[in-house]
Amino acid sequence: MDDALIYLNFLLQASQNPALDQSIYTFAQDNPGAISDFKIEFLAKWLIIKSRFTSPIILSPSELNWQAYLELSMLYDQIDDPIIHDPNFKNRNPVEVFVRMQYQQLQGQHRLALQSFGSAYLLFYETAARVATSVRYNIPERFRQLSGISIEQFMHLGFIFLASKAGPYGAIGTISQEYLNKAKMQGLDILTDENIQRFLDMTSCDHEAFRQVAIRSPYPVSDPEFVLYEFNPLKKFPLLQVHYDRWVAPNPALIIDRVTLGIYYDLLDADSTQFTQSFGTIFEEYVGDLLKSVYPETIVLREKVYGQPQKRGPADWVVIEGDTAILFECKSFIPNLNFVSISSQADIEQYARRVANAIRQTHQHINEIQAGEPQLQEFTGSVFKIVVLTVGRIQTVNTVFFKQEIDTILAAKGISNLSYTVLSLQEFELLLSLVERDVLLTELLDRLEGENQGEALTPYQEMLSQNATPSLVAQKGEEIITFFRNHQVS
């Protein structure tokens, strides 16, 4: 079992790095999807859960090798999407399938460590600390209460565990106590026994604990047709204990997710609405910091408070690009487990309504401007573009099928022909990396609205291959990563 998990770790990385195994890398390039993040994560979960019941046959977890993986992969590929078994599937919303497909296809190599670490540190530590008094919720202090370590220590330890190559294949995400002891002797003072244990309490579990998390409500799906998409405990515990002094991450990229955006879930689980009510303001402030980092502050405008009774508008933030006013409405949510796993019509409608409500709210202010509201007169005559910003990505939200759901809700309120785009924080930061190099955001938004989603940014691929992170975020991410580089274990 433990060797099988280590082998899955190796396979995923070899599929992305020819230096580990040229033949596996070539196979993966020639057969897209044969070795994917989602497949490796699912198989790791399946092996742990089923190992209690599996007899030593050809697919025994203890004997996983290349040939056995191929056989497992073939079985995996025979799993149909649940919609196929619905006799009324031709009348079902295609968004259901598209969301589940995109959820499977998210690739770890697309998670930029620089962006993930930098963005999360700025959001959960620097911005959150700055506004802690006004929102009456101190994220850095609350996280320390929950974990026993600081956010900065949590991220530093995450990068140390991510970069470790203590396994038999020389792949990252394999950790041993021997490696940690050696690193501490070479100057990584953060690796105290207490810090390591507190970090592992947050990010690691053994096989039995993994099984218990997997069956804990609300994680299991009620319909076995959707078992492929149900919650994987690797999202919460990316490090699996494979010996009393060894750990492995089947997908090391999940360590990055856990010590960055995973902080959101730690606070949500602990404090529920107390956290979410405060986090909205924190997210809004961070969006403002990002905008001011790439635009002159004179054209980045905070929402106004005006009128009797008091109103706030025209949006959380406005950027003026030529004759266009880009209205940013910030919504600090991440799509829930039901949406990414089941993606039922009800789930789709829930998020379509949330987006539509944000657009409708902004549209009301546009109407006020066009009606001559004196407090908003600086926007008179502008062309308006609406951008709804979310913390997590709503898969397929900008496709024609999902927009039909949103537009139907808006049309019922008498709203039509609006220019709007929905962006996650990661997508927004990627676009700002281009704006920072003199690409107009209006141009990018036009392409996102008018082009095939997979081709909208094609003209900028060379620029993005060089840098896809705005400098504000990159500099902070570099600080986190440099900490480890300055203490590399030899």
Q: Which of 63, 79, 95 is the last residue of a domain?
A: 79
Residue linked to tokens 């998409």: 229
Considering the domain architecture, whether residues 427 and 323 belong to the same structural domain is answered as yes
Considering the domain architecture, whether residues 234 and 308 belong to the same structural domain is answered as no
**Is 467 part of any domain?**
no
Considering the domain architecture, whether residues 279 and 252 belong to the same structural domain is answered as no
**Is 313 part of any domain?**
yes
**Is 341 part of any domain?**
yes
**Is 378 part of any domain?**
yes
Q: List the chain pLDDT tens, one digit each, 490 residues.
A: 789 999 999 999 999 999 999 999 999 999 998 999 999 999 999 999 877 644 444 344 446 899 999 999 999 888 887 777 777 766 677 787 777 767 666 554 445 889 999 999 999 999 999 999 999 999 999 999 999 999 999 999 999 999 999 988 989 999 999 999 999 998 889 999 999 999 999 999 999 999 999 998 778 888 888 888 889 999 999 999 999 999 999 999 999 999 999 999 999 999 999 999 999 999 999 999 999 999 999 999 999 998 888 889 999 999 999 999 999 999 998 988 888 777 888 999 999 999 999 999 999 999 999 999 999 999 999 999 999 999 999 988 998 889 999 999 999 999 999 999 999 999 999 999 999 999 999 999 999 998 777 789 999 999 999 999 999 999 999 998 887 676 666 6
Considering the domain architecture, whether residues 163 and 304 belong to the same structural domain is answered as no
Considering the domain architecture, whether residues 451 and 311 belong to the same structural domain is answered as yes
Neighbouring C-beta atoms of residue 214, cutoff 10 Å: 17
Considering the domain architecture, whether residues 372 and 452 belong to the same structural domain is answered as yes
Q: pTM value?
A: 0.92
Give the burial string for 414-451 (b: 16+ CB within 10 Å, else e).
Answer: ebeebbbbbbbbbbbbbbbbbbbeebebbebbbbbeee
Considering the domain architecture, whether residues 306 and 292 belong to the same structural domain is answered as yes
**Is 468 part of any domain?**
no
**Is 469 part of any domain?**
no
Task: Show Cβ contacts of residue 247 under 8 Å, excluding neighbours closer than 6 positions.
Answer: 161, 174, 175, 176, 200, 204, 239, 240, 241
Domain encompassing residue 235: 111-269+480-485
User: Looking at residue 392, what DSSP letter applies?
Assistant: S
* DSSP character string of 51-105: TTT--SSTT-GGG--HHHHHHHHHHHHTPPPGGGG-TTGGGS-THHHHHHHHHHH
Tell me how many domains the chain contains: 3
Considering the domain architecture, whether residues 250 and 162 belong to the same structural domain is answered as yes
Considering the domain architecture, whether residues 433 and 295 belong to the same structural domain is answered as yes
Considering the domain architecture, whether residues 248 and 316 belong to the same structural domain is answered as no
Considering the domain architecture, whether residues 263 and 289 belong to the same structural domain is answered as no
End-to-end CA distance of the chain: 30
**Is 95 part of any domain?**
no
**Is 213 part of any domain?**
yes
Q: Where are the alpha helices (DSSP H) in 325-399?
A: 337-341, 345-370
Considering the domain architecture, whether residues 262 and 400 belong to the same structural domain is answered as no
CATH of the domain at 407: 3.40.91
